[in-house]
Amino acid sequence: MKICHVNLASGYHGGENQTLQLIQHQVKLGYELTVVANPKSPFFDAMKQLNVTLIQASHFTKAHARSITQDCSLVHVHEGRAIYWALIQSLLYDVPYIVTRRIDNKLKKKWLANLAYSKASAVIGLSTEIVNRIEDAYPDLTVFKIPSSPVTYPSNSDVVAQLHQRFQDKFVVIHAANMVSHKGFDITIEAAKLLEITNSSIHICLLGDGPERADLEVRAHGLSNLSFEGKQSNMGDWFRVANLQIHPSYSEGLGSVILEGASAGLPIVASDTGGIPDIIEQGYNGLLVKPGSPQELAQAIASLEQEPALRETFISNGQEKLKMFDINFTAQQYAKVYEQVTK
């Protein structure tokens, strides 16, 4: 089967990582793939390393030609504005397209978005929450739920040893995400203020960068139990060093970094919001806390620091839970959608 994947993002975040993993797996399965990507993005550079036909498009109005998709069964869209590229290509050359939606925001019913979604052959939501949002906005659409799959990272033993030495005798908690307002870094900082008084052995590492960082640094001024570690190119080192991962988002489509942490063998504390409950079952493979509550977050962190047996239970159960997120399983689900659409 030949598929045209489209991701026009100029940056590189969890969505691009998930798209890359699916494409890599499909290449191994023998798919013939065309990939339309932004030449300024790290995703484009990653595509250069794969056996795919690579098309440059810096905007959804660019790079339209019959030859790009004439042998493709369908176009698979992976990023917000890329749906408009697929719409134009479909209107010009009558090729069907499907959309993977990764965010749990309410869908905007502007005329162009309305046209693009209404003409999609199918839309895939990563979580129950996203599927519900899609169905509320477009009840006549064919909608499927297919989650992301965890990406694994290598680790450098020298870097891991340095980090262990740096945080010797500390219970290391990591919060990894792009520093934007909905990721809940402000809640982590407020929780750190509470824990600094009651649990001196806990140290929280903020892994990420973004537009909120300067304000967050002001908010965290003077804290001795929290550090800003910047954006990470390889999470594998931190996953080996950490004792616990937290993710107190206000909203979340699914939470690919949660999957990555669980896959790496970490217990998880995260917000009970968006698609996160699709990954974390309260008391089974982690703890869910109310969004916006530093008190609940601090209490959950402190309780898990004191209960190593419970952490081990969460880790073990997490590995069982991850079977439904395995790339072999999710790729099979996409294959079924491709087959249904092309029929």
Mean pLDDT (whole number) for 37-52? 97
CA 192 from chain centre, in angstroms, equals 25
Binned at pLDDT 50, 70 and 90, residue 287 comes out as very high
CA 135 to chain centre: 21
Whether the domain at 2-149+326-342 and the domain at 157-324 fall into the same CATH topology: yes
Q: What is the pLDDT of residue 14?
A: 85
Q: What is the pLDDT of residue 22?
A: 96
Tell me, what's the pLDDT at 109? 82
Read off the pLDDT of each residue in 275-290 and give the average, rounded to a whole number. 97
Residue 108: predicted pLDDT: 81
Residue 317: which H helix or E strand, with range? helix 308-321
The top-level CATH class assigned to 157-324 is alpha beta
93-to-64, 72, 90, 291 alpha-carbon distances in Å: 9, 11, 5, 46
Residue 106 has pLDDT above 90, yes or no: no
Please state the rounded mean pLDDT for residues 193-211: 97
Q: How many whole angstroms separate alpha carbon 314 and alpha carbon 310?
A: 6
Q: How confident is the model at residue 165 (pLDDT cuts 50, 70, 90)?
A: very high
Percent of the chain with pLDDT over 70: 100
Cα end-to-end span (Å), the chain: 13
Helix (H) and strand (E) counts in the chain: 15, 13
Two tokens at 269?
Answer: 């504390």
206-217: per-residue pLDDT in tens? 999 999 999 999
Global pTM value: 0.90
The full set of domain ranges for the chain reads 2-149+326-342, 157-324
Q: What is the pLDDT of residue 234?
A: 86
Identify the band that residue 249 occupies on the pLDDT scale cut at 50, 70 and 90: very high
CATH class of 2-149+326-342: alpha beta
The H or E element spanning position 335 is helix 327-342
How far is Cα 249 from Cα 13, in angstroms, rounded to an integer? 16
